[in-house]
Structure 1
């Protein structure tokens, strides 16, 4: 009868689970601070905001979460006492509001004592390799959601959609951001290419095997976005810096490997990151990452498609679409000369004594007037094709009406408006401008050019 020796397996303690060298104390402190600020405060709240939005929660709920993430009311107090600014959380489309900047400042301040307490309470831990893996995973999917969102609204041209009024607005009247938007919207392939780079980086970041390549591409994309935001004064500078920071942290090991390879140093294969102990757990985590990535992709496509057909390049156009020159203008039966009336420029509203240079119909729910000084002012408008009536209002519900015109279109390129403006009878004759006269939209693409076409 064979006999065996029974051995007792000693339990593995936490310090013995680490396979690498101990982290330097300064390294550990920097990681704790970075995990709190960049991981939880920035990437974590952005990803939470994205998931709530794509899950279909009401905008009010999503905005309340964003306000909570900005550490209100502490940030309100800091804004008032430190910066002398009243914090307003109204959604304006700008990512560089005082609330955003003060929120980041408050986050950094709050993270300092928490990092100090964490350092004291967890001073015996020698490394945070497992938590660092979770940190990178969080950054990856925050980056996936950001790149997918901004990339998809370029692939389906929405972010920089073409506005008809830009063809007649003087270049000097446009802001740097308007110039950037106008030139990008004139070339759909260019805008699509920008978006395709962002979407490609996002897709590569979904799975760990391709995440390294995706992070490097994300750095290049993030640099380009931050550059144009800074140089054209686009109010998404703060978030662009955060996106570039996420990408740089993820790409740092890959960039170091690239540098070593360029210098001729042998670069071994990078070991796969595993967050869990069991192979089954890691497989399930990988499936969860793929599913989350597909969810973000599907939600981004749906959101971009809806925006593309609502306010992007596939949006509906006005029944009177076009740029119309005002060739005749009468008030009370008397012709109004084409002279600038400087007494009406401060009101921002059209008055019957002011003659217009052009009227622009672009989107169905609006109308833009170009004054004789070339300034533009837009109003909510409704074109009733059955009654052949145009209603111009202060509000989109048309409860505060400014003017009402009956219109006839004797020819395709001619429009007659008769009605009241400011309580006075007004009649206008409009002639449609041929858009082919604008090289910006009519020039097209040429492989062969005898001379540069520059005018």
Structure 2
């Protein structure tokens, strides 16, 4: 069965003659889709980074995002004068900022104007089959790259790592909906790997011309699920996932009749008339090899990047010294024993060592406070510094050294016993702690069972 973007070697498999001309509505829709989707692909820095492969890891964000940066003044002006909002692109990781929505509106308006002008200047052209062939090829390759990006981040479970030790201490109600989704998927690495395998499979199929239609169908299912989760769990990439879902629909549109014949009418589909830019057998073979080489280049780069992130945040990452959750048994401040009162803001309830270079201490009201950590296991010295921003395990090192908040020596009389003695926030402090086994949490201890007589809630 011939598929999207494939010219068969024989005329029996595929018919490239197609209709004599497109109807006016089809030509109008194509012009709008060509301009709007082309602009979106050009402005999406993530697409550029994926195609650059592993060298993109060394490029600054502004380097791959330069087309979008050129529009910054226009987007800001539209935000100020049309919507009355501040359209500034914050480097926060969110793809649903005010800036992104205003930019999307600008893209749609440019596409509308361009479609009107294009239609007025090119009314007599019967169709755009050759241009459509190139357009579908670019869309297919761009979507394939994005599916590999999404897929490898889950196939090598780095996008949603298992819940951190501090997360195990957080009340469920303190999490936002995105945190619930992230921890739900991260708590089952095998489930995350299966999700990634489906997305990687869709991406690879999209790069192979003869399997592109199957890849587009799988990508549509994958991205529809991602879009639904983004909408219902308020994940800030709704514009991106919605766009990728529409890209899959665009790829399937030329084959809609054949899909209906095969899936709904249950009869043998007719020959494909989907446009494809390469006409000779030799050109098609070369194009296929180039696409396969591009798929390998992107896959290797993304696998390398995902593996690097997994080594930092995944379950197999190196554990820091004193790793674990430590419960405070005795807390002495200024030489006086401090009772465990919930109203005491200065006493600790627990401390957590989970990621190298960071520590969190839990106050009596349950608040977890992050701190940067320097620890010397030779001299048994531990120093805490304030974290000027929310705890992030991927943040760059600050240019200025943050102020010190604590300086301790530590002793371990046993693997599950710890004593800290030193100064914290200008006061002499002595803390005696006992390690709590994190595997005692039901989330860590539940595992998998074929037989469950009494389900737990």
The DSSP-based 3-state class of the residue aligned with 1:403 is strand
Structure 2: distance between partners of 1:156 and 1:24: 47
The DSSP-based 3-state class of the residue aligned with 2:408 is strand
Q: After the TM superposition, which of the residue ranges 180-189 and 283-292 deviates more from structure 2?
A: 283-292
Structure 2 unmatched ranges of 5 or more: 1-15, 388-396
Equivalent residues in 2 for 1:5-16, closer than 5 Å: none
Structure 1 position 53, deviation (Å): 5.9
Distance 1:312 1:96, change over 3 A: farther
Structure 2: distance between partners of 1:99 and 1:314: 37
Question: Structure 1 residue 308 and structure 2 residue 307: aligned?
Answer: no
Distance 1:278 1:436, change over 3 A: closer
Q: Residues 192-224 of structure 1: CA distance to partner in whole angstroms, max 9, x if unpaired?
A: 011111001001100110000011111110111
Structure 2 partner of 1:42: 40
Structure 1 partner of 2:74: 74
Contact 1:274 1:282 in 2 (8 A): no
Structure 2 partner of 1:407: 410
Q: Segments of 4+ in structure 1 off by > 6 A?
A: none
Equivalent residues in 2 for 1:22-421, closer than 5 Å: 22-38=21-37, 40-46=38-44, 47-52=47-52, 54-56=54-56, 58-65=59-66, 67-68=68-69, 71-162=71-162, 163-254=164-255, 256-261=257-262, 262-270=264-272, 273-341=275-343, 354-395=346-387, 396=397, 398-421=401-424
Contact 2:160 2:186 in 1 (8 A): yes
Structure 1: distance between partners of 2:218 and 2:254: 14
Q: Residues 148-183 of structure 1: CA distance to partner in whole angstroms, max 9, x if unpaired?
A: 111101111101112111211111111111111112
Q: After the TM superposition, which of the residue ranges 219-228 and 89-98 deviates more from structure 2?
A: 89-98
Structure 1: distance between partners of 2:48 and 2:149: 14
Structure 2: distance between partners of 1:100 and 1:78: 12
TM-score (normalised: structure 1): 0.88
Equivalent residues in 2 for 1:418-429, closer than 5 Å: 418-429=421-432
Q: After the TM superposition, which of the residue ranges 249-258 and 434-443 deviates more from structure 2?
A: 249-258
Structure 2: distance between partners of 1:294 and 1:323: 42
Structure 2 partner of 1:11: none
Structure 2 partner of 1:10: none
Structure 1: distance between partners of 2:254 and 2:97: 34
The DSSP-based 3-state class of the residue aligned with 1:110 is helix
Contact 1:381 1:392 in 2 (8 A): yes
The DSSP-based 3-state class of the residue aligned with 2:83 is coil
Structure 1 position 255, deviation (Å): 5.3
Q: After the TM superposition, which of the residue ranges 250-259 and 118-127 deviates more from structure 2?
A: 250-259
Distance 1:66 1:127, change over 3 A: same
Structure 2: distance between partners of 1:79 and 1:391: 46
Structure 2: distance between partners of 1:67 and 1:391: 42
The DSSP-based 3-state class of the residue aligned with 2:210 is helix
The DSSP-based 3-state class of the residue aligned with 1:302 is helix
The DSSP-based 3-state class of the residue aligned with 1:82 is helix
Contact 2:343 2:365 in 1 (8 A): no
Structure 1 position 413, deviation (Å): 0.5
Structure 1 position 357, deviation (Å): 1.3
Structure 1 partner of 2:446: 443
Structure 1 position 392, deviation (Å): 1.3
Distance 1:271 1:114, change over 3 A: closer
Structure 1: distance between partners of 2:327 and 2:132: 63
Structure 1: distance between partners of 2:272 and 2:18: 15
Structure 1 partner of 2:393: none
Structure 2: distance between partners of 1:419 and 1:390: 9
RMSD over equivalenced CA pairs, Å: 2.1
Structure 1 position 266, deviation (Å): 3.4
Q: Residues 261-303 of structure 1: CA distance to partner in whole angstroms, max 9, x if unpaired?
A: 3323431343675313433323222222111111111111111
Q: After the TM superposition, which of the residue ranges 276-285 and 302-311 deviates more from structure 2?
A: 276-285
TM-score (normalised: structure 2): 0.88
Structure 1 position 339, deviation (Å): 1.7
Structure 1 position 241, deviation (Å): 0.3
Structure 1 position 331, deviation (Å): 0.6
Structure 2 partner of 1:9: none
Distance 1:329 1:452, change over 3 A: same
Structure 2 partner of 1:431: 434
Number of equivalenced pairs: 426
Structure 2: distance between partners of 1:448 and 1:321: 34
- Higher Cα radius of gyration: 1
Structure 1 unmatched ranges of 5 or more: 1-16, 345-353
Distance 1:211 1:100, change over 3 A: same
Q: Which has the higher contact order (CA 8 A, sep 6+)?
A: 2
Structure 1 position 77, deviation (Å): 0.5
